[in-house]
Every structure is written in structure tokens, then in C-alpha cells.
Amino acid sequence: MAICRICLRPTAGSRDYHSDCLVSLFGADSLPRMDIELRNLMGLAAEMAGKMSISGVQEKVSLRLSDDKSCFEIAPAHGRYILKPEPSRFAFLPQNEHLTMRLAELVGIEVPPFGLVELKDKAIAYVIKRFDRLEDGTKLQVEDFCQLGEKPMRDKYQGSGELCVRILRKYASEPLIEIRKLFKMILFSWWVSNGDQHLKNFSLMRTTEGRWQLAPAYDLLCTRLPIPSDHDLALPVCGKRSNLGRRLWLDFAAYARIPERAAVRLIQEQIAALEPSLRVIDASFLPEELKSQYRDIVRQNTESLR
Ligand SMILES: Nc1ncnc2c1ncn2[C@@H]1O[C@H](COP(=O)(O)OP(=O)(O)O)[C@@H](O)[C@H]1O
Ligand SMILES: [Mg+2]
Ligand SMILES: [Zn+2]
């Protein structure tokens, strides 16, 4: 039985993708041809870094589909997808990000379409559709929380959960709704031991109706797998980066002015996500050893929430 490289559910026979999943990610029911090789990608990524509107630490390239959607093309400008190959320093990051983003979806966090693809030399890469480009090419305005907090890029770690809440209070069109979404994202990110959720990994975007709302989640991964010593949150919550538990999350919810009953429900939803998450971890493309570590991490963090 094969597992779909997009949704992580079983496919019929030995197929790598469900047709429906291909349609939702690429707009066509067959996988576009990939002529790009990992060894060429790193050079391309470095070359593109200055030209692309997206930046970040990990190597990445901007992609689009050919007009007939039959193959991927490198697209320094007007790319509709972002491709993140496996960096040389850390193994299995594409599989880790893919799984973590699926787990986020499972708890009801909004995510863009994404999946895993094989490069020409069989290396696995993570691909995500851009949430800031519409089908007709329109570009939505996006501001990350580092910009909104009026901080230079190098200060992306100089923030806190509370700062993110204040940013939404100030800029979101419907702060009450957006703050609950943010609470869910920060809670989830801690739950999967993501130590790299800094200010540039949250954004606000302006919808076509002119409303400022939280952008879908991106760049979520369990950093504790590649860096076992990495337990601490990049942004503290109620002054703490580690050893967070139920009491602290309720305090943070109080700061965010989320009524206690609603906060208890949000925490309960994260606890209830444990069992289905364990099944998704099992189905993922991580090697067995890392699956087992991932399961231990979410079990342990779930205990701290009870
Ligand atoms: N799906 C997406 N749509 C639009 N912009 C995105 C998307 N994913 C990431 N970005 C932008 O690209 C930047 C880098 O991507 P990210 O996944 O955070 O890479 P890195 O691991 O290098 O930090 C992000 O800070 C964000 O501004
Ligand atoms: Mg990032
Ligand atoms: Zn699928």
C-alpha cells in the first residue's frame, strides 16, 4: 500500500498521489514533470535569494507550472510555488515540514496546499503553493510580524506571544477572530516542539475584500528532530520558553482576552488531536526512528496540557 505524498492517506495500488490531491495542489490530475536536480538547486537558490520576494534561512526556489501544467519551471519572478529541498546540514526536513503542516491542518489551522515531490535525481523536496498569489496573477499584500512590530529582520527573535497578540489587536480587521487563530498556532507550534516560530513566520495578509487577516500557516516543523537540544520556544509566552503547561496556556489566553471557556476548549482540541496525529505521524515519510521520536514529543507535550 502506498501513501499519498500530498495528503498522507493510502492510495489505491502503488500510486504516489491521489488524483484529487494533485488537482488541489497543481490544478491538473497528473504530476508535472520535474527536470530540476538537487545539486543544481542549491546554486539556483543562492542566485535567487537576492531577487525573490521571499527570503528565509533555508534554501528555496520559486517555481511555476508551464502553461499546459505538464512541467515545473524555475520562476525568479511570478512563481506560484515555493520549493524547499533538503538542506545539506539537516536530513529529512522536507518530510518533517510536510508532516508538521498536515498535523496543523488536522487541528484546524488554515494551511495553503502543499506536498512532497521528487526531484530529477530522486531527492525529496517540499513544495507549497503561495497564498499571496491569486489564479489571475493578482498579488495580495502581506506583512510579516517582524515588519508589523517595526523591527529589523535580524530582530526576528526579539518578540513574544504577547507582542503577536498586540500586533493583531492593532492591525487585524477582526482581532477577536484572528487572536484565537494565533493562539491555536502558537499552542500547536509548541506542541510539536517547533523552536523556530519567530516573528517572520507569522504574517497578516490583505484579502481581496480589503480585510487584514492572519495568513495561512507556513514554515512549521519539529525542530527538535534535527536539533535534539532544541526545546525552547523562539518567542516566549508569558515569559517562558520551556516547561510550558496548561496553567501557562490559560494565562496566555487571559492576556489575549480569550474567555476561559473558549481557551479550555482550544486546549482540549489540541489534546484530542493526539490520537489522530499519532496515525498521521505513522503514515508520514519520516524514517521509523524519527517517527518514534516525534510520537514521544507530542505525547509528552499533550501530558503537560492535561
Ligand atoms: N505559502 C507561502 N505563500 C507565500 N509566502 C510564503 C509562503 N511560505 C513562505 N512564504 C514567505 O517566504 C518566507 C520564507 O519561507 P519559509 O517557509 O519561512 O522559509 P525558511 O525556512 O527559510 O524560513 C516566509 O517568511 C514568508 O514570508
Ligand atoms: Mg521562515
Ligand atoms: Zn492524497
Closest Cα to atom 6 of ligand 1: 130
- 27 has a pLDDT exceeding 70: yes
Pick the CATH number of 142-305 from 2.130.10.10, 3.30.70.930, 1.10.1070.20, 2.40.400.10: 1.10.1070.20
Closest Cα to atom 15 of ligand 1: 56
| Cβ partners under 8 Å of residue 38, min gap 6 | 85, 86, 119, 121, 123, 125
Closest Cα to atom 3 of ligand 1: 130
Q: Which atom of ligand 1 is nearest to the CA of 56?
A: 22
Closest Cα to atom 16 of ligand 1: 219
C-alpha cell at 60: 528555496
Ligand nearest to the CA of 112: 1
Q: Which atom of ligand 1 is nearest to the CA of 130?
A: 3
Poorest-confidence range of 16-25, 190-199, 208-217, 228-237?
A: 228-237
C-alpha cell at 147: 515588519
* Mean pLDDT of the chain, nearest integer: 94
- For the chain, give every domain's residue range: 19-129, 142-305
Ligand nearest to the CA of 17: 3
> Are the C-beta atoms of 125 and 116 separated by less than 8 Å?
yes
Residues with CB under 6 A from ligand 1: 54, 56-58, 60, 82, 112, 128, 130-132, 144, 200-201, 203, 218-219
Ligand nearest to the CA of 8: 3
Q: How far away, in angstroms, is 84 Cα from ligand 1 center?
A: 10
Ligand nearest to the CA of 115: 3
Quick one: residue 193, left, alpha or beta (phi over 0 = left, psi -120 to 50 = alpha)? Answer: left
Poorest-confidence range of 78-87, 183-192, 249-258?
A: 78-87
Chain segment 76-89, per-residue pLDDT in tens: 888 999 999 998 88
pLDDT at 50: 61
Give the confidence band of 15 by pLDDT, cuts at 50, 70, 90: very high
Q: How far away, in angstroms, is 45 Cα from ligand 1 center?
A: 14
Of 64, 219, 221, 223, the one to substitute when testing ligand 1's pocket (max ligand atoms within 8 A of C-beta) is 219
DSSP letters along the chain, please?
A: --B-TTT-SB-STT-SS-HHHHHHHHSSSSPPB----HHHHHHHHHHHHTTSS---SS--EEEEE-TTSSBEEE-SSS-SEEEEE--SSSTTHHHHHHHHHHHHHHTT-----EEEEE-TTS-EEEEEE-TTB-TTS-B--EEEHHHHTT--GGGTTS--HHHHHHHHHHH-SSHHHHHHHHHHHHHHHHHTT-TT--GGG-EEEE-TTS-EEEPPP-S---TTTTSTT--S-SS-BTTBSSS--HHHHHHHHHHTT--HHHHHHHHHHHHHTHHHHHHHHHHSSS-HHHHHHHHHHHHHHHHHH-
Please give the Cα distance from 266 to 282 (Å, whole number). 25
Of 201, 214, 221, 222, the one to substitute when testing ligand 1's pocket (max ligand atoms within 8 A of C-beta) is 201
Q: Which residue has the cell 511555476?
A: 64
Mean pLDDT throughout 3-8? 98
Chain segment 58-68, per-residue pLDDT in tens: 778 899 999 99
Closest alpha carbon to 57 in 293, 219, 217, 190:
219
Mean pLDDT throughout 46-69? 75
Mean pLDDT throughout 2-6? 97
Q: How many CB atoms lie within 10 A of CB 28?
A: 14
- State the maximum Cα–Cα separation within the chain, in Å, rounded to a whole number: 54
Bridge partners of residue 214, in order along the sequence: 204
Closest Cα to atom 11 of ligand 1: 54
- 92 has a pLDDT exceeding 70: yes
Chain segment 133-186, per-residue pLDDT in tens: 998 889 999 999 999 999 999 999 999 999 999 999 999 999 999 999 999 999
- 284 has a pLDDT exceeding 80: yes
Give the confidence band of 57 by pLDDT, cuts at 50, 70, 90: low
Bridge partners of residue 64, in order along the sequence: 73
